[in-house]
Chain A
C-alpha cells in the first residue's frame, strides 16, 4: 500500500514549500518580503516540472483507492500550480502595498493550491472532503486578510459561516449516501449504483436525498444559484488578489471535484440527476447574468458574472459524457485564463488608483492604454466574442451539451451570454468612451504640480504588466489554437470516463 508513496511526492513537497515559506518569513526583514513570492513561484515551477516528469502517463490508484494519479489529476495539478504562480505574481505589488504579514499570505496560497490539486485527484468522498476543507480554510483566512478593512472582515465572517454551513450539508449528504450504499470510494459507489438501478423501484430515497445534499453542498462552494448569496459580498470585501483566486481557483477546483464525482461515481444514475443539474444551470446562468447588469462595483460585477459562468459550467456537468467532460475542462481552463487576465488588469488598476468602481474606470484608455486594452480583451472573451478564449470554449461547450440532448439549455446559455455581453460592454464603454472621473483629473493636476517625483507612482509595475501580457496572449491562444490543449484534455477525460 505504501510502495507507491513516492507518487505523492509533489504534494509532500508543496506542503514543505509552504512551511518553508513560513519559516523563511521569520528571517526576512520587512522590506524584502517580496522574495517570498519569488521563492513560492520558483518552488511551484520546480514542482510543476517534477510532476510532469514523474507522473506523465501514469494511471495508478493509491492508498487503497483514495487518490488517483492519472492524467486527469496531472492536468489539474499542472493547472493549479500555474494558477498559484500567476496569483502570487499578480499579487506581489498589492500585498506589498495593502496587506500585513505577506509571508503567511504566500504560504496560505500554497496550502490552497495543495488542497485544490488533491481535490481533483481524490476518488473517495472523505478524502475529497478533506481536500476541499484544506482549500476552504485557506480561503477563510485569505478573505479576511485585510484586517483593518471592515469590509474584508465582514466578507470573512460571511464566507466562513456560509462555508461551515455548506460543509455541514455536504457531510450530511455524504453520510446519507454512505448509509444508502455502504461505500465511499467512487468506483464502489458507481458499482453499487449500477446494481441498485437494475431494480430501480427498490432504490431507497435516502440515496436521492444524499445525492441532492452533496450537490447542494458543492453548489454553495461554487456559488450556484440559489446558493450564491455569499459571493458578491465576499468578492467585494476580500483583497483583490484573493477575489481573483477565489473566483478562479476555488471554482475550478470545486468543478474538478464535481466532474470526477459525477463522472466516476454518479454516472450510472445520470438520467435521475441530469434534469436537476440542467435546471440549476439554467437559473444560475440567467440570474447571475441579469443581476450583474445592476452592479456599479467592478468586483461585484465580476462576482455575478462568475455566477453566470458557473451556470455554463454546470451545463457541462448536466451534459456529462466524453465530449461533455472535455468541453467542461476546456471551459474551466479558458475561463480561468480569461478571468485571471481581467482580475490582473483590475489589480493593476487598483494598485495605481486605489479604486475599483466601474465609474472610476473612465478614460482608462487614454491614461493606461495597455490596461484598458487587456481588460477589454478579457471582457470580450468573457462575453464570448471570437478570436478570444471565450468564443471557442463556449462554442465547444454548447455544442457538446446539444449533442447530449440539451439543445434547449444551450439556447438558454447563448441568450444569457448575450445578456452578459451588455454589461461587459458597459465597462468597455466606460474605459474607452467616457471621460476620466473628477478625482483622476484632480490627481493629474496634483501630479503636475508635485513634478515628476509622483508621476512615476501612477504606473503599474513591470511585473504585473508582464503577467497581464502573458495572460492576454493566453486568452488569444486558447481562442485561436486550442488544439494542443484539447489533446491533453481528451486524455484527462479519457482517464475519467474510460476510453471511448
Chain B
C-alpha cells in the first residue's frame, strides 16, 4: 500500500495527461473509441480520487501521499514534490467527480470531438497538478497549464450570446478569460519570485541550506523570519488579487460570466466547478500559509470584497435573461461566500469555505450540465422564452431544482451546511458583513425561485411539446452530482473531518486568532 500511496497523486496527473496523449494518436473518425477512452480515463480517475480521499488519514493530518523528484538543481532547487493535506484532499475528489461528469455530458460534442477530449484531458491534468503539488514552481506550472486549453476549448466549441443590440461572441469570451487569468497569474508569478528572492537573501551566500520553491522550505524560512512584516504586507496582495482573479474576486470577476457562458458545457462545469476553486485554494495555500502576517492585515479587505461579490453577483443574477448568465453570476456570488469564509480566519468560517468550495463545485457543475441539456433540446437559454418545461423534461427540471435549492441554502443539501458555517464564522468576526452576506443569500433565493417559476413551471409553450429529458448518459452524470449534493447535505461528517484537520493546521500559523 505504501507503494500506491507514493504514486497515487502522480497518477491523478498522469491518467488524464496520458489519456490525452493517447487520444492525439487516435484516428479522427473513430469517435466512439475516442469517447470510450475518455470515459474510461474519467472513470478510472474518479475511482482513484475516491480511493485517495478515503485513504487520507485525517487523524494524522498534514501532507500525506508525499513523494518528490528533483527537477532542477542549484540555484533554483525545484522539486516535483507531491502531497495533499486536509484542504487539498476534498479538492482532488471534487476534480475527479466533476471531470468524470464533464466527460459524460460531452458525449455528443461535435465537431472535432477528438481535439475536444485531448484539450479537456490536459485541462484536467493541470487542475489536478495544482492541487497535488507542494512546490511553487510546479503549482504555477500546472496553474498555467490549466489556463492554456481554455482558449481553444471556448473558442472552438463555445457559443456566442446575442443580446439584441450587441453580440458577446465566444471568441470574445475566450480571449477575455485567458487574458484575465494570465494577468492574474503574472501577479502570482511576481509574488512567487519575490518569495524566492527573499528566501535566498535571508539565507545569504555560502549558507548550507539553499533557497528553493518548496512550500515547506519557504514556510520554515518564513517562521524563522525570512519574510519581514513589510514584505508580507507588500506581497500578500499579489497573491490575494492574482489568485483572486481566478476565484472571481470583485472587481476582477467580469471574465467569469462571459467566459463561462461562452464555454461548452463540460468546460463551464470544470471551470466554474473546479478552476475557480484553484483561486481560493491558491490564496489559502500560498498566501495564507507563507505570509500569515500579511494575510491577517489584508483579511478585512478580502472579506469586504467577498461581501461585495456575494451581493453584486446575486443582484446581477437577478437581472439576467440568459439561463447560463444567471448561473455564471450565481458563481460569482457563491465564490464571494468562499472568500468571506476564508477571510474570517475562524475555524468555522474557513471550514465552511472549503466545504463551500466543494459544494459549489458540484452544484455549479450540475447547473451547467442541466443548462447544457436544456440548451441542446430547446436551442435557447432565454428565460423569457422558456416556460413549463417541467411537463416534458420532468427529471431535468428536478435536477435543476436541486442545484437551485442547494444554491439558496436549503437544509438537507450541501450548500446549507457550508453557508451556515461561513456565516457563523463571519458573525463572530465581522457581524455587519455577515448580515450583508445573509442578505445576498436571500437574494439568491429570489432569483432561483423566480427562475424556477418562470422557466420551468407555469403554462407550457406549445413549441416545447415534443421535448423529452436528456440522453441517458448526460442524465446519469447529473444524477451522480445530485446524489453527492444530497449525501454531503445529510452527512457532511466524512468531508468535514478531513477539512477540519487541514483548517486546524492552517490556523495554527495565526497565533493572534
Q: Which of A323, A395, A415 meets B75, CB within 8 Å?
A: A323
Contact A407 B148 (CB under 8 A): no
Give the segment of A95-103, A226-234, A398-406 that binds chain B: A398-406
Question: Does B53 belong to the interface (CB within 8 Å)?
Answer: no
Q: Which of A385, A403, A418, A425 meets B197, CB within 8 Å?
A: A403
Question: Does B171 belong to the interface (CB within 8 Å)?
Answer: yes
Could you tell me the distance between the alpha carbons of A411 and B142 in the complex, rounded to whole angstroms? 20
Question: Does B151 belong to the interface (CB within 8 Å)?
Answer: yes
Contact B196 A386 (CB under 8 A): no
Residues from chain B with Cβ under 8 Å of A497 in the complex:
none
Give the segment of B179-187, B416-424, B499-507 that binds chain A: B179-187
Question: Does A483 belong to the interface (CB within 8 Å)?
Answer: yes
Chain A interface residue bracket vs B: 20 to 34
Question: Does A482 belong to the interface (CB within 8 Å)?
Answer: yes
Name, among B72, B140, B142, B196, the residue most crowded by chain A CB atoms within 10 Å (CB to CB): B72
Q: A399-B193, A418-B186, A433-B156 are in contact. Are A386 and B148 (CB under 8 A)?
A: yes
Minimum distance in angstroms from A479 CB to a CB of chain B = 9
Contact A380 B148 (CB under 8 A): yes
Residues from chain B with Cβ under 8 Å of A391 in the complex:
141, 144
Could you tell me the distance between the alpha carbons of A84 and B321 in the complex, rounded to whole angstroms? 60
Question: Does A429 belong to the interface (CB within 8 Å)?
Answer: yes
Q: Which of A396, A403, A414, A482 meets B186, CB within 8 Å?
A: A414
Residues from chain A with Cβ under 8 Å of B200 in the complex:
403
Question: Does A422 belong to the interface (CB within 8 Å)?
Answer: yes
Could you tell me the distance between the alpha carbons of A218 and B189 in the complex, rounded to whole angstroms? 31
Secondary structure of the A side of the interface? helix
Whose C-beta in chain B lies nearest to the C-beta of A481? B71
Minimum distance in angstroms from B121 CB to a CB of chain A = 13
Contact B197 A429 (CB under 8 A): no
Secondary structure of the B side of the interface? helix
Residues from chain A with Cβ under 8 Å of B186 in the complex:
411, 414-415, 417-418
Residues from chain B with Cβ under 8 Å of A399 in the complex:
76, 193, 196-197
Residues from chain A with Cβ under 8 Å of B155 in the complex:
429, 432-433
Minimum distance in angstroms from A419 CB to a CB of chain B = 9
Q: A385-B148, A386-B145 are in contact. Are A398 and B189 (CB under 8 A)?
A: yes
Residues from chain B with Cβ under 8 Å of A407 in the complex:
190, 193-194, 197
Contact B156 A432 (CB under 8 A): yes
Contact A403 B196 (CB under 8 A): yes
Question: Does B175 belong to the interface (CB within 8 Å)?
Answer: yes
Whose C-beta in chain A lies nearest to the C-beta of B154? A433
Residues from chain B with Cβ under 8 Å of A387 in the complex:
122, 141, 145, 148
Question: Does A428 belong to the interface (CB within 8 Å)?
Answer: yes
Could you tell me the distance between the alpha carbons of A421 and B183 in the complex, rounded to whole angstroms? 10
Minimum distance in angstroms from B377 CB to a CB of chain A = 26
Residues from chain B with Cβ under 8 Å of A432 in the complex:
152, 155-156
Q: Show 26 A/B contacts (Cβ-Cβ < 8 Å), sorted by A.
A: A323-B75, A380-B148, A386-B140, A386-B148, A387-B145, A391-B141, A391-B144, A395-B140, A396-B76, A399-B193, A402-B197, A403-B196, A403-B197, A407-B190, A410-B190, A410-B193, A411-B186, A414-B190, A422-B179, A425-B175, A429-B151, A429-B175, A433-B155, A483-B71, A483-B72, A486-B72
Residues of A within 8 A of B (CB): 322-323, 365, 376, 380, 385-387, 391, 395-396, 398-399, 402-403, 407, 410-411, 414-415, 417-418, 421-422, 425, 428-429, 432-433, 482-483, 486
- 10 tightest A-B contacts by CB? A414-B186, A402-B193, A386-B144, A386-B141, A433-B155, A386-B145, A385-B148, A402-B197, A411-B190, A323-B75
